[in-house]
Amino acid sequence: MFGSNLDEFIRLALEEDVGDGDHTSLATIPPDATGRARLLVKEAGILAGVQVAVRIFAQVDPDLSIEILRSDGAAIQPGDVVLTVAGRAQSILKAERLVLNVMQRMSGIATYTRSLVNLLDGLPTKLLDTRKTTPNFRICEKMATVIGGAVNHRYALYDQILIKDNHVDYAGGIEAALTKANDYLRATNRDLLIEIEVRNLAELDEVLGTAETQRVDRIMLDNFDLENLREAVRRVAGRYPTEASGGITETTLRAYAECG
């Protein structure tokens, strides 16, 4: 998922920052000048973005020499050195800001994600991420949530069918939406996971009632309170994976996860 997309992200990010050249460095630093830099940690947290940084340096200048001292997912403290890079000074300065921007944001996401994952410790529950990402930075944010211990949900609109309330209403109801989704996959010869969102127990019962005729891979229980979430999980009885979404806070996260 991340390979070629990541390289394209780096290319566009460098194009945005460098344009037709780092004219300050070109004007003041001889082209053959060399240097060495180190990436120093200033706050405690979970490290993320090391492998992205390596690919940024490589795209800027494949002759740069990088020594990795801390890996993605490592717990870090102020004063830790994550990596060192040596080579042409102009190249190091060209890559520096993009590397820092990416690693700072990714590490912040990974750190917060890990704190939420820790709240679920010991429970048979996974923390999922969403499509609610920063435009054109999704690839790094999705990588960061995995580094923090979460699981990627769908990456984009193209890799899963997720039938939400809008789709249900436009399609004419739960059964109609599921029928259309299954028909579409057959007609286009696609093999995509089908997930459907339900807003209440009545809609859940409609989904469960289609079990014999329509394929469903996962049910999202949207904005259910704890009492109704417990009842929903009881009715599903393990027949489908369930996903709770909406209205869940750090304070209530474990209580929701304990519902099953």
230 has catalytic annotation: no
222 is a catalytic site residue: yes
| Residue 119 pLDDT > 80 | yes
Beta-carbon contacts of 157 under 8 Å, excluding residues fewer than 6 positions away, are 131
The residue from 36, 42, 97, 215 that is catalytic is 97
194-198 and 161-163 beta bridge pairing: parallel
Q: What percent of the chain has pLDDT over 70?
A: 99
Among 55, 138, 164, 230, the active-site one is 164
* Given 165, 222, 231, 258, the catalytic residue: 222
Give the CA radius of gyration of the chain.
23
Mean pLDDT for 85-114 is 98
Q: What was the pLDDT predicted at 135?
A: 94
pLDDT at position 211 = 87
Q: Are β-strands 218-222 and 242-245 bridged in parallel, bridged antiparallel, or unpaired?
A: parallel
Catalytic entry in 32, 121, 132, 191:
132
| Tokens coding 69 | 């001292």
Span 47-94, pLDDT tens digits:
999 999 999 999 999 999 999 999 999 999 999 999 999 999 999 999
97 as an active site residue: the answer is yes
b/e 207-236 (16+ beta carbons within 10 angstroms → b): bbebeeebebebbbbbebeeeebeebbeeb
Strand-pair category, 65-68 with 81-88: antiparallel
Kind and range of the H or E run holding 66: strand 65-68
Tell me the per-residue pLDDT of 126-180, one tens digit each, with 9 for 90 and over: 999 999 999 999 999 999 999 999 999 999 999 999 999 999 999 999 999 999 9
Q: How many residues does the chain have?
A: 260
Query: Does residue 1 have a pLDDT over 70?
Result: no
Q: Is the pLDDT of residue 2 over 70?
A: no
CB neighbour list of residue 200: distance below 8 Å, 6 or more residues apart: 224, 228
How many percent of the chain have pLDDT more than 90? 92
The answer to whether the CB of 174 falls within 8 A of the CB of 196 is yes
